């Protein structure tokens, strides 16, 4: 049986991987956004999660290059998320959305108990995928309102998300 301290140490490695993924995403977003229209400001945020404790993760604020008004803020949602390897929240002036980091084997552990006739019970744990068709590791946007499908994050999709969360600011640039 794994000890609590071993679990905490293991989960601190999860935090390090999560923060690395966030930083890589922010770098990609900075490449996607035209600097004549947008500025990106990095920061940090303190989070606290069970079995990890307190930790810091990077944030990103996207502002209008001319007015310095905030277009959207990207906040870490947590390194330990059910069915994913991390979450990031995107808050704009009109709405919010989120992305999850998925692995092809992402899912929720489900314990199955079988008992047939007088046979002894058998138990096994299987990973039940939360989302279908996750072929590659990466950040995904979820289409929860429809069929719980996910789409890999691309520049075009990210711009669509920005339009969703802050339409007034983005529409003037697109």
pLDDT of residue 1: 45
Asked if residue 53 is part of any domain, the answer here is yes
Note whether residue 110 is domain-resident.
Answer: no
Q: What integer pLDDT is reported at residue 47 of this predicted model?
A: 95
Instruction: Tell me if 91 is assigned to some domain.
Output: yes
Query: CB-hemisphere CA count at 13 Å for 37?
Result: 13
**What is the span of the domain harbouring residue 19?**
4-105+134-171
Let me know if residue 154 belongs to a domain. yes
Give domain status of residue 129, yes or no. Answer: no
Kindly state the helix (H) or strand (E) to which residue 63 belongs, with its residue range.
Answer: strand 53-64
Q: Is the pLDDT of residue 3 over 70?
A: no
Phi and psi torsions of 50, nearest 5°: -55, 135
What is the number of structural domains in the chain?
Answer: 1
The predicted-structure confidence for 59-114, as pLDDT tens digits, reads as follows 999 999 999 999 999 999 999 888 888 999 999 999 999 999 998 776 555 566 66
- 62 within some domain: yes
Q: Assess whether pLDDT exceeds 70 at residue 11.
A: yes
Q: Is position 93 within any domain? A: yes
Q: Is residue 113 part of a domain?
A: no
Choice between 122 and 55, residue whose per-residue pLDDT is larger: 55
Predicted TM-score (pTM) of this structure: 0.79
- Residue 8 confidence (pLDDT): 56
């Amino acid at each position: 049986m794994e000890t609590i301290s071993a679990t905490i140490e293991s989960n601190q490695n999860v935090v390090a991987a999560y923060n690395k993924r966030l930083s890589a995403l922010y770098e990609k977003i900075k490449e996607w956004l035209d600097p004549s229209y947008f500025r990106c400001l990095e920061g940090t945020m303190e989070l606290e999660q069970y079995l990890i404790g307190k930790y810091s993760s990077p944030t990103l604020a996207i502002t209008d290059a001319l007015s310095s008004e905030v277009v959207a803020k990207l906040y870490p949602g947590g390194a330990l998320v059910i069915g994913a390897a991390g979450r990031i929240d995107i808050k704009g002036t009109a709405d919010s959305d989120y992305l999850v980091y998925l692995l092809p084997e992402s899912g929720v552990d489900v314990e199955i108990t079988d008992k047939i006739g007088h046979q002894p019970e058998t138990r096994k744990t299987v990973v039940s995928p939360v989302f279908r068709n996750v072929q590659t590791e990466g950040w995904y946007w979820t289409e929860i309102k429809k069929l719980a499908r996910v789409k890999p994050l691309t520049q075009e999709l990210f711009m669509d998300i920005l339009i969703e969360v802050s339409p007034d600011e983005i529409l003037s640039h697109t």
